[in-house]
Amino acid sequence: MTCKPLIGLNADYRAAARSTPAFSYIAAGYFQSILSAGGIPVIVPPMDDPDSIHTILDQLNGFLLIGGADLDPRNDGFMLHPSVRPLDPIRETSDRLLMADIAERRMPLLGIGTGMQLLNVQQGGNLFLDIKEDLPSAVPHLDPQDPSHRHTLNVESDSLIGRVYGDGEIRVSSRHHMAIDEVAPGFRVTARCPDGVVEAIESEMMDWFALGTQFHPECNAASALDVRIFEEFVDGVREHAAQDLRLVA
Ligand X SMILES: N[C@@H](CCC(=O)NCCCC(=O)O)C(=O)O
Buried b or exposed e, range 209-235, using 16+ CB within 10 angstroms: bbbbbbbbbbbeebeeebbbbbebbbe
Binding track over 99-138 against ligand X, x by CB under 6 A: --------------xx--x---------------------
48-56, 170-178, 197-205, 233-241 -> range binding ligand X (CB under 6 A)? 170-178
Quote the least distance from Cβ 27 to ligand X, whole Å.
5
- State which of residues 34, 90, 178, 191 lies at the interface with ligand X (CB under 6 A): 178
- Based on CB atoms, which residue is closest to ligand X, 177 or 238? 177
Answer whether 191's CB lies under 8 Å from 156's CB: yes
Examine residue 46 and tell whether it contacts ligand X (CB under 6 A): no
Answer whether 217's CB lies under 8 Å from 33's CB: yes
Q: Return the residues of window 78-97 that contact ligand X according to CB under 6 A.
A: none
- State which of residues 39, 62, 70, 187 lies at the interface with ligand X (CB under 6 A): 70
- The CA distance from 24 to 95, in Å, is 13
- Nearest residue relative to ligand X (C-beta): 113
Burial of 63 (0-12, 13-18, 19+ CB in 10 A): buried
- The CA distance from 162 to 155, in Å, is 5
33-41, 156-164, 174-182, 183-191 -> range binding ligand X (CB under 6 A)? 174-182
No. of H helices and E strands in the chain?
Answer: 7, 14
Task: Note the residues at the interface with ligand X (CB under 6 A).
Answer: 27, 67-68, 70, 113-114, 117, 175-178
